[in-house]
Chain A
């Protein structure tokens, strides 16, 4: 693993199903983030974690949950997917509050 890895790359999901998007980094970064990106809109923060064991809500947290059991992993769970959650999801990490973000390659999620 080099950098930050997301899985799956893409997924088609039936509405109402549960889904977990995985994110792993090997840079020992304290801060990790989940964003969604929709056409015509800027990146919107879903949840973040400043350090292992802590999480916080971003701009659009409803319908999503996260956990940060260790430094490397930051999974995002959709408990019961809805079509409005169709989007591209990016996981990112950074070494500090004003440090640049490193992004994973993204997950294209379609909820039907």
Chain B
């Protein structure tokens, strides 16, 4: 079956670094997405990886290892506004997105 696993909840301190992991098992693979979703709002796009390696975008970076079925989202210099849920989603061979349940990130001062 198809499955995405990510931690339910994480806590981190303002100014620190946090890594949110995601493992996936899908029928085929056409890329891995990360979305951010603030409480009561719609998800918004953060990153897309299809090749192995690290992609950096400002304070946020995303890593992919296709051989391990593994990705992580790295958030640096955490700010209170980064408190949100982070959704991992894998694009399968039919170009359908398989979504994880999301990781709720709590930032403490």
Contacts and interface: CB of A to CB of B under 8 A. Distances in A.
Interface of A: 40-45, 58, 90, 97-98, 100-106
B101 A106 contact: no
Interface of B: 4, 30-31, 33, 35, 41-45, 48, 50, 87, 89, 91, 95-102
A106 B95 contact: no
Contact of A98 (B4, B31, B101): B31
Contacts of B44: 103
Contacts, number: 47
Contact of B101 (A41, A58, A104): A41
A100 B48 contact: yes
Contacts of A103: 42-44
A45 B98 CA distance: 9
B31 A90 contact: no
11 contacts: A42-B98, A43-B87, A43-B89, A44-B99, A45-B96, A97-B30, A97-B91, A98-B48, A101-B43, A105-B41, A106-B41
Contacts of A105: 41-42
A42 B91 contact: no
Contacts of A104: 42
Contacts of B43: 43, 90, 101, 103
A45 B97 contact: yes
Nearest to A96: B95
From A41, A45, A101, residue with most partner B Cβ within 10 Å: A101
A100 B50 CA distance: 13
Contact of A101 (B30, B45, B96): B45
Contacts of A42: 4, 87, 89, 98-102
Nearest to B91: A98
Given A101-B45, A103-B44, A40 B95 contact: no
Nearest 4 CB-CB pairings of A with B: A42-B99, A103-B42, A97-B95, A100-B45
B95 A98 contact: yes
